[in-house]
């Protein structure tokens, strides 16, 4: 099997614990930490299709889009692309720009990085774009975090977590994230976190990476 000397990448639905686990893993291993949510809009804005229609009023003087405005920014971009090119072309243009932004960030990540994919960054409807992201992740060890194996139960757990955090997401939307084939297509392994603490999940990831390495491929930890 081919070696995978690259980063550890965590993917999964909102509320899966990607950010908290990545922070804990970075503390445990001393590895660098990269959160795609923190910089992907800046990368997205560099894509010509997006730059041509973006709502400048939602962009800060320093060129960033505040987290509180990102949803409005993306909705406005989609509306403008749809008005200019139609819904199908708009959806592809936005997903293509998202994939390019993600690829740029992943390709710039060091081999020792722990990369936290935001929930939407691993979801691709267009199979060629999904394949391009998969190719970029071929040097990484990609782990899908889910609270449990049963989809309905996973959705209920995630909904409760997110509500407690003050960022509710509808059960229907969460079900799309949990069951979307894109996540499983990109993942090398799935970790069901159950009721484990962040520290316990991080320890499980260390063991999972060691198992991955022992199987003949080189994991990141």
Query: Do both 25 and 52 map to the same domain?
Result: no
Q: What is the pLDDT of residue 64?
A: 85
55 in the same domain as 11: no
Q: Based on the fold, state whether residues 125 and 216 are members of the same structural domain.
A: yes
Q: What is the DSSP letter of 184?
A: H
Check residue 5 and give its pLDDT: 62
Q: pLDDT tens for residues 7-35?
A: 889 999 999 999 999 999 888 888 888 88
| Residue 111 contacts residue 5 (beta carbons within 8 Å) | yes
Q: Can you list the pairs that 127-136 forms with residues at least 24 positions away whose Cβ atoms lie under 8 Å?
A: 129/95, 129/96, 129/99, 130/182, 130/185, 130/186, 132/99, 132/103, 133/99, 133/102, 133/103, 133/186, 134/185, 134/186, 136/102, 136/103, 136/106, 136/107
Per-residue pLDDT, averaged over 70-87, amounts to 92
Do residues 90 and 180 both lie within one domain?
no
154 lies in the same domain as 104: no
The residue from 108, 133, 156 where one domain ends is 108
Provide CB contacts within 8 A for 112, sequence distance 6+: 7, 31, 32, 220
Q: Is residue 102 located within the same domain as residue 116? A: no
Which of 49, 76, 108 terminates a domain? The answer is 108
118 in the same domain as 210: yes
Residue that wins the pLDDT comparison between 72 and 218: 72
The answer to whether residues 102 and 146 belong to one domain is no
Q: What is the per-residue pLDDT for 216?
A: 59
Instruction: Indicate if the pLDDT at residue 134 is higher than 70.
Output: yes
How does the average pLDDT of the chain come out, rounded? 88
In the chain, the percentage of residues whose pLDDT exceeds 90 is 53
Range of the domain at 189: 1-32+112-221
Shared-domain flag, residues 189 and 138? yes
Can you give the pLDDT at residue 13? 95
pLDDT tens string 138-181? 888 999 999 999 999 999 999 999 999 999 999 999 999 999 99
How much is the pLDDT for 175?
Answer: 96
Same domain, 102 and 120: no
**Average pLDDT for 89-104:** 88
Whole-number pLDDT of residue 79:
95
How many domains does the chain divide into?
Answer: 2
Residue 70 in this model has a pLDDT that exceeds 80: yes
Q: What is the mean pLDDT of residues 194-200?
A: 91
Using the 3D structure, point to which of 65, 91, 108 is the last residue of a domain.
108
> Distance (Å, rounded) from C-alpha 183 to C-alpha 105?
18
Q: What is the domain-level CATH number for residue 159?
A: 3.40.50.300
């Amino acid at each position: 099997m081919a070696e995978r000397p690259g980063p550890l990448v965590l993917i999964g639905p909102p509320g899966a614990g990607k950010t908290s686990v990545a922070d804990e893993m970075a503390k445990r291993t001393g590895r660098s930490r990269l959160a795609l949510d923190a910089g992907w809009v800046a990368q997205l804005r560099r894509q010509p299709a997006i730059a041509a229609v973006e709502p400048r009023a939602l962009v800060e003087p320093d060129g960033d889009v505040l987290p509180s405005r990102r949803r409005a920014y993306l909705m406005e971009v989609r509306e403008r692309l749809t008005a200019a090119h139609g819904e199908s072309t708009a959806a592809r243009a936005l997903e293509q720009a998202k994939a390019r932004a993600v690829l740029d960030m992943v390709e710039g990540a060091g081999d020792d990085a722990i990369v936290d994919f935001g929930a939407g960054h691993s979801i691709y409807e267009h199979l060629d774009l999904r394949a391009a992201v998969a190719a970029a992740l071929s040097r990484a060890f990609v782990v899908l975090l889910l609270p449990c194996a049963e989809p309905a139960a996973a959705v209920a757990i995630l909904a409760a977590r997110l509500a407690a955090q003050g960022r509710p997401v509808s059960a229907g939307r969460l079900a799309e994230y949990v069951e979307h084939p894109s996540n499983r297509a990109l993942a090398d392994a799935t970790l069901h976190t159950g009721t484990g603490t962040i520290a316990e999940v991080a320890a499980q990831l260390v063991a999972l990476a060691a198992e991955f390495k022992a199987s003949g491929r080189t994991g990141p930890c």
